[in-house]
Amino acid sequence: MTEDEQKLAAAKAAVEHIKDGMVVGLGTGSTAAKMVDLVGERVKNGLDIIAVPTSEATARQAEALGIRVVGLDEVSVIDLTIDGTDEVDPEKRLIKGGGGAHLREKIVASLSDRMIVIAENKKMVGKLGAFKLPVEVIPFAAGALLPKMEALGSTPEIRMKDGQPFLTDEGNQIIDCAFGEIDDPEELALTLSTTPGVVEHGLFIDYADLVLIGTDDGVKTFGG
């Protein structure tokens, strides 16, 4: 299968977990977009759900497909969130944020009873860190935080778009930190979370309940 076919296979398997009456968190990214398209098809065929999107882009996509979209303040619980990832290791730890939506993604995931992660085969890694770790920071602190990220062992750079610093949906900047293999993701996550000026980081520890990986041999399942 091509990478797109692997993504679609994982997305199809994940959507099977959505049932009538659920509040569903809709992730962001190329794989999640395929999932949202599939949810839109099921809604058109009568599926009754409420969706909480993790980005403005996902909200626009969902609304265009006729999916009922609400904000976090309009729901008391999120039954299930389905989202993609940039990397996932055998312990279901993730690096997310390649699309810059990891702050909202983590908030939605943290409020969900269950999180399903979907990805193509190349996203499954033995050790996290080949993908640059996104660290969302307030613009005021971005420049000052570069040497701090370097002191943690990374090669950091402020994410740019069209010659200007990339801004998230919340108006923050992102420092992409090239660590290489991360020996202790939990320790790094704690260090980043307690660094003033850091809003959020792309390490998702103990969030994923089920990981669905599209491969040439079908969809592989990790977790339950």
Q: Was 202 annotated as part of a binding site?
A: no
221 annotated ligand binder: no
- Is 73 labeled as ligand-binding? no
Is 66 labelled a binding residue? no
Is 105 designated active site?
yes
Q: Does residue 81 have a known ligand-binding role?
A: no
Placement of tokens 């420049």 in the chain: 143
For 213, the enclosing helix (H) or strand (E) is strand 210-215
Is residue 98 a known part of a binding site? yes
Judge whether 83 is annotated as a binding position: yes
123 is in an annotated binding site: yes
User: What DSSP string describes 28-67?
Assistant: -SHHHHHHHHHHHHHHHTT---EEEESSHHHHHHHHHTT-
- The C-alpha atoms of residue 129 and residue 89 are separated, in whole angstroms, by 10
Residues 134/176, Cβ–Cβ less than 8 Å: yes
Catalytic residue among 16, 56, 63, 105: 105
Any binding-site annotation on 85? yes
Interatomic CA distance for residues 174 and 22, integer angstroms: 33
Instruction: List, in order, residues 6 or more apart from 184 with CB less than 8 Å away.
Output: none
- Contact between 59 and 3 (Cβ < 8 Å): no
Please identify every residue annotated as catalytic: 105
Residue ranges for the known binding site are: 28-31, 83-86, 96-99, 123
Known binding-site residues for substrate equal 28-31, 83-86, 96-99, 123
